[in-house]
Every structure is written in C-alpha cells, then in structure tokens.
Amino acid sequence: MSFNNVIDQDRPKEILSRAIFQNRVAHAYLFKGPEGVGKEAMAFEFAKAIFCSAGNKPCGSCRHCTRLNHFTHPDFIFLFPMPKNVTDDDHRRILNSIMREPYFRLKPWAGPVIGIERIRELRRVCNLKPFEGKRIILIAEADKMTAEASNSLLKILEEPPPFTHIILTTANVNRLLKTIISRSQAIDFGLISDQKIQQALEDKGVENARAQLLARMCQGNYTRALEWLETNVEQRRDLAVELIRKCLRDQFEHIRFVKELLERNEKQELRDILRLLLVWFRDALVVSNEPHKGKEQVINIDKFDTLIKFVNTFKEIKYELAFSEIENSIEMLDGNIQINLLFIVLLLKLQKVFVFK
C-alpha cells in the first residue's frame, strides 16, 4: 500500500491500509484533526485505493485512479462548503486547483455552507446503483453542514446504502452532531512535523533556507506553508515586529499605524500578521529561557540576533499577557467588530506587556 501523496500521518495510513488489505472498509469514516494537515489529501488517496484495480493500491494510473485524479469518476461524489449561487465554472475551477494541489484550502468564500438541497440530492443518488460496483462520498469540512443538512445526512448513516462508503472531514469535530460522530469510525490526524514539511517544500523546488523558515512558521499546517509560499510572509512578519515597535509609541502613532495597516492589508493578511506576532513572542520566550540553545528552537531562525536584542531591551516581558491578548484579537477578528478599534486596543494592551529597565 502506498499513500505517497500524503505527507506524514503514519497512523491514519496504517489503519486505512489495513482496512483495504483486509477488505474491511467501514461504511463511514470521520477524518478529524487540525486544518492543513492533509485530511482531504488522505481522503482522495483512500478513495483511489478503494477503487484501484492494481496490486499496489492506489497505483495512480489505472482507469479508476486516473478518473479520480481528474474528479471525473462517476461513483465519486465530493461535497464541500459553497455559497448557493456558485456557477459551474467556479466549481470546476476549484476542482482544478485541488487537482493540482490536494492541500489546497477549501475556503474561497466567506460563510459558505453545505445546504440541505445538496444532501437531498445525495440521498436521491444513494438510491441508485453505482456504475462501477461501489460509491464513495466525500464531504469535506462536514461541520459546515446546516442543521437540516446534518439531520438529512444522519438518515443516510442510520441506514447505510449498500456499496457506499462515506468519508467526512472536519477540523471542528465539536460542531458535528453526536449521532453523526458515533456512526462513523474516527481517524485522528495530527500536525505535520517541521522536517516533513520542509522536505515537501524542497521537493517542490523551494530553496533550503526558505523551506526551513516556512516549515517552522506554519506550525504543522502544510496548507498554510503553501499559502505563505505564494505570498511574502517575511514582509508580514516584519509588520508584526513593526506593530510591537509602534505599541511603545503614543496614541497618535497608533492611529496612524493602524490606518496604514488596514489600508494595505486584507483580513486574511491581518490574521497572518497576528499569528506571526504570536510566533515572535513565542520565540522571544524561548530565547530568554535558553539564550544558548535557543537557535535550534526558534521559528524565526533568520532573525535570531534581532530576537536576542529584543529580549535584552526590556527588564521584563509579560509573555502570558501578550499571548492571551493576541489570541483574543485573532478570535475577535472573525467576529462582528471594527477592525481598526481591535488593533488600536491591542496596541494599548501590548504596551502593558513590557517593563523597561
């Protein structure tokens, strides 16, 4: 069995290989774990392995595997959150992106859901005989199903149709119905190791030093590493450091800085900046605890000297306070709040983190 297209995740690979090998594939699986660690990538490979007609499954090149690779297999149904008015062209564009990169983020819109009409259609299809003997249904980010859709899916799970396997993926298992969870076999996915992410990036042709930096920064989330690869993550990190510098200035500076920050950055970028700010404080804590061994453990390895200078500037840094204020801000960013106020308040609160010599 080879799941070579999936990075790391040895335990899920082992369990799913055994299921294929012993011909005991369950009716329903729940792939759960953090975002960006390859739950969907694994689901695609597992689907191939279930259909594949070669000895070493999934071969990637038989009739079944080829059609699955192109999302044209008639017995593979793939649902993911989408707005209602999405066009066929949009839908195909997303599938093409996933075809090129199975770790693609499935979130091109704000607030997409999996609605009742799509599960209703699924139930209709489940009454028909599959074309090729079996059918696989993949519902990605299943926690985005509406309440109605969840209840409708539950009916399918309660009386599993013959020849059908259902795979659900979620990064928010608590948002699923308990009855859905209890009717599927859970497979736990963990964060991917830095080394495996670095290797995967280098295999894509990313230069060694940048691959190492991205692997450390993304903290086990390969999807995030890929997104940061496309953008200038170093520039966002520098903005995070600039934010610390500005917090020590007066309120006029705060207002000016936040205005500029919001003019030049979308919400997604602001979220990244806050995450990188968190990473910066985490590194500073490592450096202040172990100034000699710190270099192997910091994420911002290219800024090690700056980190040393940073921690030596202050008599004390209240790390716990910094972590909780930044985490709160990240959480609030997704809520109904004025973003400029959020940042101005954060700057004021960060001021209290530093005690001068």
* CB nearer Zn ion, residue 51 or residue 228: 51
50 near Zn ion (CB under 5 A)? no
Site size with Zn ion, rule: CB under 5 A = 5
Tell me which residue of 190, 192, 220, 180 sits closest to 30, measured CA to CA. 180
Report d(CA 101, CA 38) in Å as an integer. 11
Q: Shortest Cβ distance from residue 57 to Zn ion (Å)? A: 6
65 near Zn ion (CB under 5 A)? yes
229 near Zn ion (CB under 5 A)? no
What φ, ψ does residue 185 adopt, rounded to 5°? -85, 120
* CB nearer Zn ion, residue 55 or residue 335: 55
- Only segment of 23-31, 35-43, 53-61, 259-267 that touches Zn ion (CB under 5 A): 53-61
Q: Shortest Cβ distance from residue 80 to Zn ion (Å)? A: 24
Among 59, 125, 173, 262, binds Zn ion (CB under 5 A): 59
Contact 32, 188 (CB under 8 A): yes
- DSSP H or E segment with residue 311: helix 304-313
Tokens for 126? Answer: 């489940």
3-state secondary structure of 299: coil
Q: Shortest Cβ distance from residue 44 to Zn ion (Å)? A: 12
Angle between helices 251-264 and 267-289 (to 10 degrees): 120
125 near Zn ion (CB under 5 A)? no
* CB nearer Zn ion, residue 45 or residue 143: 45
- Only segment of 60-68, 206-214, 234-242, 339-347 that touches Zn ion (CB under 5 A): 60-68
Contact 186, 6 (CB under 8 A): no
Among 20, 25, 26, 54, binds Zn ion (CB under 5 A): 54
Tell me which residue of 8, 70, 58, 13 sits closest to 36, measured CA to CA. 8
* Residues near Zn ion, by CB under 5 A: 52, 54, 59, 62, 65
